[in-house]
Homo-oligomer: A and B are copies of this chain.
Amino acid sequence: MVQYPQIDRTFAALADPTRRGILERLGRGSATITELAEPFGITLTGIKKHVRVLEEAELVTTEKVGRSRRCSVGPRRLEDVHAWTQTYQRMLDERLDRFGELLERTKGVPQ
């Protein structure tokens, strides 16, 4: 079986509503840690931890600007998540199609 260490990190990073919220916020434009913390009502330390997880998954990049840290969406665009979920979905759809065809064929068979 193929190992996908990066896709593991991506899925794990997306498994938290605050982290998805941070991505949605950064999708509209970059923000400092302080600006991110405010709407979520959690501590700076809490936000920093979430940002770290997103950074390790390459979904977010950060850069020190003066005394604050500015966060932006990272280079990763969920292509791997799309690819995996679409392949899985297609596999299920094809199986459903084959099951439908089997049902159609057995209709003509006398009981």
Contact = CB atoms under 8 A, between A and B. Distances in A.
A37 to B, nearest CB: 13
* A contacts with B: majority SS: helix
A2 B20 CA distance: 10
A16 B24 contact: no
B92 A20 contact: no
A81 B91 contact: no
A44 interface: no
Nearest to A17: B3
A16 B10 CA distance: 11
A91 B26 CA distance: 10
Contact of A88 (B27, B40, B88): B27
A77 to B, nearest CB: 7
Interface of A: 1-4, 8-9, 11-12, 14-18, 20-21, 23-24, 27-29, 39-40, 73, 77-78, 81-82, 84-85, 88-89, 91-92, 95
